[in-house]
Amino acid sequence: MSERQDVVIAGGGPVGLTLAAALVQAAPGLAVTLVDDRRPGTRDDGRASAIAAGAKRMLEQLGVWGAVADSAQPINDMIVTDSRVRDVVRPVFLTFDGVLDDGEPFAHMVPNVDLTPALLAAAEAGGVTVLAPETVSAFTTGDGSVEVRLGGSTLRAGLLVAADGVRSRLRDLAGIRTLQWDYGQVGLVATVAHERPHKGRAEEHFLPSGPFATLPLKGNRSSLVWTETKAEAGHLMAADDATFATELARRFGHHLGALAVEGKRHAYPLSLRLARDFVRPRFALIGDAAHSIHPLAGQGLNLGLRDVAALAETIVEARRLGLDIGALDVLERYQAWRRFDTLEMGAITDGLNRLFSNDSRILRGIRDLGLGLVDRVPFLKRAMISQAAGIDAGAPRLLRGEAI
């Protein structure tokens, strides 16, 4: 059986769902099918996402933010320290006010378990067909369409979009190579309840094994992103609750009172992976399928949502002009829009991780001096916050809160 679609999206995570919702809202009548091996929203990965101000504006424009607003915690401020686990005192070298010039928080923390169902509801309300559980097994590109083979059927589409994650099978099938290396680190993710309120503060502690970040959630709870070496992470994941809690407290500190881990611990290997190309004829990569960076800046999902805003605008404008949405010259506009931002963020996070994930006295002195100097230059800090918020003048319309 073969059915014609305009766009097929492989991957039902937040990035794939946001693209689906954006396309059908901006271009009524566009036939969009989303394929995933599990029903979106049934997978709790333990993560919460930092939704930057630009991404929040896009979710407001798509009618999604209202569904997650009650579970969204604004980040009011942020501190950065550089120390060792055994240090009694952790000097704060850098502070950020989390509010933009107009009073808007530069980011909110939203649990993925709330975000994904809201995006799914918006996509289906706009007419997106969701096939799950289902898998794209192969695809063949022709002159006028791409043939997408599923388990028991075939779809023909003008464009296939791969949003199938860092180990994207479709990227490999398209013959797109990646620049990549393994950090030898693992990100431990958990939700931590604490006795005292965090007051919306995010904390980034640079430790020799990697960054240890606590990000505020609603109530007296924080999302933990704890970077460790692979060996130590294996011991921590295998440890009993009491041992894990002891090691957690050594790094978290006692300023928020007693700690308790809520739910399961999760572990994710960390690597840098950048696709050499984002597009092929009738094929495009978005999200982690196009780029996977170190989580220390909390920009992983935001990079993916910037992809969505750029690709959606490219597709919708091409359709309005009567152009072929899967043509390579059309898709190259999306690639040009996104390539520099992705490479820049990959280089920044890679450099910061290498600079801080060590115990060199010389490097420690250099970086602490640098952090202190940045802390004394207000306009530089404001520029960094604006960049992280994703609201620069050249941003796609959705990130500015405007309809395509």
Assess whether 246 and 175 both reside in one domain: no
**% of the chain with per-residue pLDDT over 70:** 100
How far apart CA 208 and CA 357 sit, in angstroms, is 5
Q: How many whole angstroms from its chain centre is CA 299?
A: 5
Q: What is the tens place of the pLDDT at every residue in 18-71? A: 999 999 999 999 999 999 999 887 777 788 999 999 999 999 999 999 999 999
Residues 147 and 31 in one domain: yes
Query: How many CA atoms lie within 13 Å of 318's alpha carbon, on the beta-carbon side?
Result: 23
Instruction: Specify whether 262 is located in the same domain as 365.
Output: no
Instruction: For residue 2, name the pLDDT band (cuts at 50, 70, 90).
Output: low
Q: Could you list the residue range(s) of the whole structural domain that residue 105 is in?
A: 2-180+272-400
Asked if residue 307 and residue 363 are part of one domain, the reply reads: yes
Contacts with 238 (C-beta within 8 Å, 6 or more apart), sequence order: none
CA distance 307 to 289: 11
Q: 247, 270, 293: which is the final residue of a domain?
A: 270
Give the span between the Cα atoms of 251 and 90, in whole angstroms. 10
The yes-or-no verdict on residue 376 having pLDDT over 90 is: no
Closest CA to 121 of 45, 66, 173: 66
Same domain, residue pair 148 and 240: no
In terms of domains, do 147 and 78 share one? yes
Neighbour-count burial of 127, counting CB atoms closer than 10 A to its CB (0-12 exposed, 13-18 middle, 19+ buried)? middle
Q: Are residues 163 and 240 in the same domain?
A: no
Asked if 240 and 289 sit in the same domain, the reply is no
* Average pLDDT of span 346-363: 91
Mapping DSSP onto H, E and C, the string for 181-240 reads: EEEEEEEEEEEEEECCCCCCEEEEEEECCEEEEEEEECCCEEEEEEEEEHHHHHHHHHCC
Asked if 162 and 195 sit in the same domain, the reply is no
What digits encode the pLDDT tens for the residues 255-303? 999 999 999 999 999 999 999 999 999 999 999 999 999 998 889 999 9
**Are 121 and 242 contained in the same domain?**
no
**3-class DSSP state of 91:** coil
Candidates 215, 210, 190, 187; CA nearest to 82 is: 210
Phi, psi at residue 73, to the nearest 5°? -105, 120
- Indicate if 212 and 348 belong to the same structural domain: no
Residues 349, 154: Cα–Cα separation, whole Å: 40
Q: Which CATH number fits the domain that encloses residue 262?
A: 3.30.9.10
Say which CATH number the domain at 176 has. 3.50.50.60
Q: What is the pLDDT of residues 100-157, one digit of tens each?
A: 877 899 999 999 999 999 999 999 999 999 999 999 999 999 989 999 999 889 999 9
| pTM (predicted TM-score) | 0.95
Total domain count for the chain? 2
pLDDT, mean of residues 73-96: 90
Mean pLDDT of all residues in 230-234: 97
**Same domain (yes/no): 169, 218:** no
**238, 270, 302: which is the final residue of a domain?**
270
pLDDT tens digit string along 149-180?
Answer: 998 899 999 999 999 999 999 999 999 999 99
* Integer angstrom CA distances of residue 342 from 78, 108, 290, 295, 395: 24, 21, 9, 14, 13
What average pLDDT does range 359-364 have in this prediction?
A: 88
Tens of pLDDT, residues 189-215: 999 999 999 999 999 999 999 999 999
Residue at which a domain ends, from 270, 301, 332:
270
